Amino acid sequence: MSLCVVRLCYSLVSLSSADDSELQSIQWRVVIIDEAHRLKNRRCKLLEELKALDMEHRVLLTGTPLQNSVEELFSLLNFLEPSTFPSHVSFLQQFGDLKTEEQVEELKGVSRCGEGGGGDGGCGLKGLLLSFRS
């Protein structure tokens, strides 16, 4: 199946196992998720359902701040870059509470943004981390 754009609402993603299998059968090139603040809880059922989709690229949109919560930040980073941020425990061990400029800069360095994957113009991680400056 070749689709250019499909617009789904969160309730459709969460409907039933039959709907899930249909959505999971699609190889998604880009998935843009609006109201991404709904994914800040790493134990969220919706987050798990979205992770089950085969996505090449993921974009999160939200106007809701993270409230300087490392827990919320990890949940979003784990969704965006699961191979780079696979474990909450190792995230905390490596980056601590993100209270210092050095911790934030170290986190920027390990992301795809720090490896030239998006640069300052195309990567949302830089903006996402600005709220964690002391």
Note the pLDDT tens digit of each residue in 92-113: 888 877 888 888 888 877 765 5
Mean pLDDT of 127-131: 53
Mean pLDDT of 74-101: 87
* pLDDT tens digits, one per residue of 37-59: 888 888 888 888 888 888 888 88
Which residue would you say has higher pLDDT here, 63 or 91?
91
Residues 15 and 45 placed together within one structural domain of the fold: yes
**Cβ–Cβ under 8 Å, residues 132 and 68:** yes
Residues 50 and 88 placed together within one structural domain of the fold: no
Residues 53 and 101 placed together within one structural domain of the fold: no
| Dist CA 123 CA 83 (whole Å) | 17
Is pTM beyond 0.85? Reply is no
Q: Could you tell me the pLDDT band of residue 84, with boundaries at 50, 70 and 90? A: confident
| Dist CA 90 CA 88 (whole Å) | 6
Q: Which amino acid is at 116?
A: G
Q: Could you tell me the pLDDT band of residue 87, with boundaries at 50, 70 and 90? A: very high
Q: Is the pLDDT of residue 121 over 60?
A: no
Residues 60 and 70 placed together within one structural domain of the fold: no
Choose the final residue of a domain: 49, 64, 79.
64
Q: Find tokens 């969704």 and name the residue.
A: 79
Residue 73 burial (C-beta neighbours within 10 Å; 0-12, 13-18, 19+): buried
Range of the domain at 14: 1-64
Q: What is the mean pLDDT of the chain?
A: 74
